[in-house]
Structure 1
């Protein structure tokens, strides 16, 4: 996993939360009847990245107690380009605004004077979202 400068491991915490939710869902399925999954160990061992990615995409844009998404928090914490790309590739929406001031991910990246390598993936993702 990629770390932000301040030592915040955002991706790891997202994946951990997703795994816990999937395992919880698997347990619920087992309690209610036969599970469609061959083994919960596939998820626990991290071997089923498609399931993790699909589940992560369902809540990656949820807001924390401060009203920020994972993407907005990552940018605020000066995350690496790799972390930014990983969040965007997994469904983080750069058009969501900070509740307090209305800034988007692009606004934050510009205000923190991030370079073109950082800003470009945000612009590309917004363009792709608009086109679809």
Structure 2
């Protein structure tokens, strides 16, 4: 395997995780700004709520794990990175679908979510290619 291809795939995965984290922070920031402009933060009690905050903490930790793993995993552990990246991406897509089914509109959050999902798909494809490269 060409070392440059390996390095590019790893960089794409790590950059994807970094970008998804920044987009997630932007989504949270826009929520806080919107609630602040209304002068009512009561909505945070239900979305994300206490359980949602725990989920965000776990997701932040998985995000860091994904970024570091992208640079260092070897052999079969590459498949674990692929599985983590796929699950991470699908979780957010499912969460967005839940919001859409609940009646969420096509607003700035939707745009940020689309950027997040697109980034996740690119990172997942790079992780899949990285995992396969030893067997190809």
TM-score between both structures, scaled by the size of structure 2: 0.34
Instruction: Answer 1 or 2: which has greater helix percent.
Output: 2
Under a length normalisation based on structure 1, what TM-score does the superposition of the two structures give?
0.35
